[in-house]
Amino acid sequence: MIPRSHSSLQATWQQQLKQSAISASELVERLQLPVEMIGQLEKASSGFPLRVPDNFLQRIQPGNLSDPLLKQVLPDLAELEHFPGFSNDPLDEQHQSTPSGLLHKYPSRVLLVVTGACPVHCRYCFRRHFPYQQQQMGKQGIEKCLKYIEQHPEINEVILSGGDPLSAPDRLLSDISSRLDQIPHLKRLRIHSRFPVMIPDRINDSLLQWIGHSRLKPVMVLHINHANEINQDLTDACERLKRAGVLLLNQTVLLKGVNDSSEQLCQLSETLFNVSVQPYYLHLLDKVAGAGHFEVSQTNAINLMHQLLEKLPGFLVPKLVREVAGVTSKLPIDLNL
């Protein structure tokens, strides 16, 4: 397959980012939703603004309020309700002793929060209450993090995260990548991003340049929740990444009304396989305030996993996990409970 070339007539990823729907009226107009919804959408998005790129909107069936892609991005009045056990910082990430922007929870790998900005605002996001929403790490902040990584030889993998790390310009990412390259104990560079899904044109030549030329083995973990998210543009972006030597994995959040059936999860795994992406994690929802209406119980999740194990080859079954504050690893869930 020949990757699509990027003509100068086409909007750059930065322009596409600017053209995202950010108001209730825009979303209603573009998706032919009932105009009466505008008021409630505005109210529901008061705590966490609405944001959806156009490429993702194109994969949503106009007028269909139960579209599994729409549900992920449509503000819902249920976000304002209080659900017991759901809090603003469910993983207690705001109290860490590492330099700000660095999370060192597991001995061998650190998570570097390059920027708090995202191309999309997923309504179930566990970072929806984080104070760093839009800010990007400054030069000084990055220096402190690099120093910390240099001083900790037990770290062999750096994970660029956010927000979405690919919100940052390639100039900055390329600088960080070449600095990490020089730290001898590092082996891998991992990137957690929803950009290939949201704005596939983000996977352009300048990005492939720094990813492909690193000494560190590159891994990208995509975040795809439903097979309908995998369109031709995303398929082409995966192809470009693969050609640059990037190992592609996917994580999914189990979401009520979006992907909580074995049919949907099987179809997702099968479609990921078709585009050479390996299913990695299936996350139980983090209990963040505003996302309670997306919760699938652990019992139902375990039932779904048993069905997946029957229907799919083992290598297409993601690991069911949940994060627990203060515990040093993602907790695999025992399927025999």
Ligand X SMILES: *Cc1c(COP(=O)(O)O)cnc(C)c1O
Task: Give the residues lining the site for ligand SF4 (CB under 6 A).
Answer: 118, 120-122, 125, 127, 162-164, 194, 223
Among 4, 30, 59, 109, binds ligand X (CB under 6 A): 109
Q: Is 125 annotated as a binding residue?
A: yes
Residues 133-162 touching ligand X, rule: CB under 6 A, are 159
Nearer to ligand SF4, 39 or 49 (CB): 49
DSSP H or E segment with residue 152: none
Nearer to ligand SF4, 208 or 222 (CB): 222
Q: Left (φ > 0), alpha (ψ -120 to 50) or beta: where does 308 sit?
A: alpha
Residues 111-130 touching ligand X, rule: CB under 6 A, are 111
Q: Which of the listed partners (ligand X, ligand SF4, none) does 122 bind, with a CB threshold of 5 to 8 Å by partner kind?
A: ligand SF4
Nearer to ligand SF4, 186 or 281 (CB): 281
Instruction: Return the beta strands (E) in 162-290 as ranges.
Output: 188-193, 217-223, 247-253, 278-283
d(CA 46, CA 14): 25
Q: Which of the listed partners (ligand X, ligand SF4, none) does 120 bind, with a CB threshold of 5 to 8 Å by partner kind?
A: ligand SF4
Q: Which residues pair with 159 in a beta bridge?
A: 111, 190
Among 78, 103, 247, 333, binds ligand X (CB under 6 A): 103
- Shortest Cβ 121–ligand SF4 spacing (Å): 5
Options 2-10, 46-54, 103-111, 132-140: segment touching ligand X (CB under 6 A)? 103-111
Q: Is 238 annotated as a binding residue?
A: no
Nearest to 210 by CA among 237, 184, 244, 234: 244
Residue 256 in the binding site for ligand X (CB under 6 A): no
- Please give the torsion angle defined by the CA atoms of residues 165, 67, 270 and 3, in that order, rounded to the nearest 10 degrees: -50
The whole-angstrom distance between residue 306's C-alpha and the CA centroid of its chain comes to: 25
Q: Is 145 annotated as a binding residue?
A: no
Among 106, 132, 148, 273, binds ligand X (CB under 6 A): 106
- Shortest Cβ 265–ligand X spacing (Å): 19
CA dist 290 → 52, 82, 85 (Å): 18, 7, 11
Residue corresponding to tokens 């209603």: 28
Q: Which of the listed partners (ligand X, ligand SF4, none) does 75 bind, with a CB threshold of 5 to 8 Å by partner kind?
A: none
Q: CB burial class (10 A; 0-12, 13-18, 19+) of residue 83? A: middle
Residue 249 in the binding site for ligand X (CB under 6 A): no
Q: Left (φ > 0), alpha (ψ -120 to 50) or beta: where does 257 sit?
A: left
Six-digit token string for 72: 């992920």
Binding-site residue set for [4Fe-4S] cluster: 118, 122, 125
Q: Given the rule CB under 6 A, which residues bind ligand X? A: 103, 105-106, 109, 111, 159, 330
